[in-house]
Amino acid sequence: MRILIKNAFLVFEDRVARGDLLCDGRKIVQAGGVIDAAVDKVIDAAGCYVFPGFIDTHTHFDLEVGSTVTADDFVTGTKAAVAGGTTTVLDFATQERGMTMMDAFRKWENKAKNSSCNYGFHMAVSEWNEERIAEVPLMIENGVTSFKMYMVYDNMRLSDGVMYEAMKYLAKEDCIIGIHCENDDIIKARVKELKAAGKTSSRYHAVSRPNVVEADGVGRLMDAAYLAGAPAWVVHLSTREGLAIARQARERGQEVYLESCPQYLVLEECMYDAPDGAKFVMSPPLRSKADQEALLSAMAAGEIDWIGTDHCSFTMAQKAAGRDDFSKTPNGGAGVQNRAEIVYTRAVKGGYFDMVQMGRLLSTQAARLFGMYPRKGVLRAGSDADIVIFDPDAPHTIRAAANLHNCDNSPYEGYEAAGRARDVILNGELVVENGKLIAAGKGEYVHRERCGRYRQ
Ligand code: URP
Ligand code: ZN
């Protein structure tokens, strides 16, 4: 199949240029200039921006959390993802205690079989010992070159020392570990205190995890990475205090990668007071306008590396487990379909940064660090034909019911988005046309190379 996109604004890594783009089979063969060629399909993209397919670095599909499982599995989650312009998700395969990483990998491979966008896995580990270390080469062979550790959640939490050892080991392999940065002990003490005072509604979720709780975690990560001589990757950074600590680490010469999420750019702590406040119970929690401003400015300045969604959806019935005790609410929210339109509306229309920076934050930089570049993340001859045609003038209201996710709520319900992904090409095939998914189940596994440490 040869597809020719005409009259677009092509978003390259360093500029936007008017031109055409030609795909032949699974590859881009020309990006730029005026192209006249015999093709199977011509798409007129006048007035639209053409980006390399967006990459969501942070999803949790089909994840068991306590006694419940996320509302979205790979079937529904990846339909929503691709409808929003995401052509690759990196989901967290989870190695539970006593399980091998290979078992976790196979389990996730099986879960992801009928995906509608491409997918790769980070390996979230709950143990770090000789057996797990011995499996690292096998992970690399299988295209898993990024890992995750949590400072929280009793079933996953690891100590700072373990984190230090793992970072030191993995840096030598040009692999990286993302860390969920929060101070678990303080959170537990505050939860106990709040509950004893009868403060059990959703808003106390945020009170139990104030900004300094994240900043403490970021500080411990930076120190461990400094001593280990390893790169540091903060997942879902949400606070200006955490950002300040990451900046200091860079100032002393550290290699730091920062991820943030749309929820920390447009949603606020006061939202917990809404009748459906439980849908905002996620960790880290929603913050203030001042935090949003700090994160947006840092994105504009090139200090934040990419934006993932942390899509981890639960229905309101599942969220009701925390009706009388916020700490029993399953943590996480839906957002995989809405990332690009929110970032565009809030940050590009809002005047913080331009379409080039949007392309870097939603695609290029993730492709680079996570071993997919230049196969993905760039409009270039020879790169994969994963492409988004983004209409900057498509005002619409975000509604959970209109999303393709399998969730009855959205934290972004009612958000007025200014633009949207209009058409999406995945592996050379048109799968979304005029905002409608026209071909499902076309996703493939992305075997990733070692990390492209561009801040080294
Ligand atoms: O609340 C959230 N974010 N749940 C998903 C797991 C995690 O912490 O990333
Ligand atoms: Zn997460």
User: Which pLDDT tens digit goes with each residue over 353-378?
Assistant: 999 999 999 999 999 999 999 999 99
Which residue puts its alpha carbon closest to atom 7 of ligand 1? 283
Q: Is the CB of 282 under 6 A from ligand 1?
A: yes
Q: Is the CB of 331 under 6 A from ligand 1?
A: yes
Where on the phi/psi map is residue 431: left (φ > 0), alpha (ψ -120 to 50), or beta? alpha
What is the distance in A from the centroid of ligand 1 to the CA of 282? 6
Which residue puts its alpha carbon closest to atom 8 of ligand 1? 283
What is the distance in A from the centroid of ligand 1 to the CA of 423? 30
pTM of the predicted protein model: 0.98
Q: Are strands 2-11 and 49-52 parallel, antiparallel or unpaired?
A: parallel
- What's the pLDDT tens digit per position in 168-200? 999 999 999 999 999 999 999 999 999 999 999
Give the residue among 39, 286, 14, 25 at the shortest CA–CA distance from 6: 39
What averages of pLDDT result for each successive group of 10 residues across the chain (456 residues)?
98 98 98 98 98 99 96 98 99 98 98 98 98 98 98 97 98 98 98 98 98 98 98 98 99 98 99 98 98 99 99 98 98 98 99 99 99 98 99 98 98 98 99 98 98 98
What confidence score (pLDDT) does residue 61 get?
Answer: 98
What confidence score (pLDDT) does residue 249 get?
Answer: 99
Give the residue among 316, 328, 323, 408 at the shortest CA–CA distance from 66: 328
Q: Indicate the top mutation candidate among 57, 60, 65, 279 to test ligand 1's pocket, ranked by most ligand atoms within 8 A of CB.
A: 60
DSSP state of 436: E
What is the distance in A from the centroid of ligand 2 to the CA of 22? 36
What confidence score (pLDDT) does residue 142 get?
Answer: 98
What is the distance in A from the centroid of ligand 1 to the CA of 235? 10
Which residue puts its alpha carbon closest to atom 9 of ligand 1? 310
Where on the phi/psi map is residue 372: left (φ > 0), alpha (ψ -120 to 50), or beta? alpha
Q: Is the CB of 383 under 6 A from ligand 1?
A: no
Q: Is the CB of 312 under 6 A from ligand 1?
A: yes
Backbone angles phi, psi at 291, to 5 degrees: -70, -45
Q: Is the CB of 60 under 6 A from ligand 1?
A: yes
Nearest atom in ligand 1 to 235's CA: 9
What is the distance in A from the centroid of ligand 1 to the CA of 106? 22
2-51+378-392+419-437: which CATH topology? Urease, subunit C; domain 1 (2.30.40)
* Alpha-carbon gap, residue 206 to 289, rounded angstroms: 15
What is the distance in A from the centroid of ligand 1 to the CA of 15? 34
What confidence score (pLDDT) does residue 211 get?
Answer: 98
Nearest atom in ligand 1 to 152's CA: 8
What confidence score (pLDDT) does residue 38 get?
Answer: 98
- What's the pLDDT tens digit per position in 407-456? 999 999 999 999 999 999 999 999 999 999 999 999 999 999 999 999 99
Give the residue among 306, 436, 413, 285 at the shortest CA–CA distance from 368: 306
What confidence score (pLDDT) does residue 96 get?
Answer: 97
Nearest atom in ligand 1 to 282's CA: 1
Helix axes 101-111, 130-141, angle to 10 degrees: 40
* Alpha-carbon gap, residue 83 to 434, rounded angstroms: 10
CATH number given to 53-369: 3.20.20.140
Q: Is the CB of 310 under 6 A from ligand 1?
A: yes
Domain positions in the chain are 2-51+378-392+419-437, 53-369
Q: Is the CB of 332 under 6 A from ligand 1?
A: yes
- Residues, Cβ < 5 Å to ion ligand 2: 310
What confidence score (pLDDT) does residue 208 get?
Answer: 98
What confidence score (pLDDT) does residue 326 get?
Answer: 98
Where on the phi/psi map is residue 259: left (φ > 0), alpha (ψ -120 to 50), or beta? beta
Q: How far is CA 312 from the centre of its chain?
A: 11
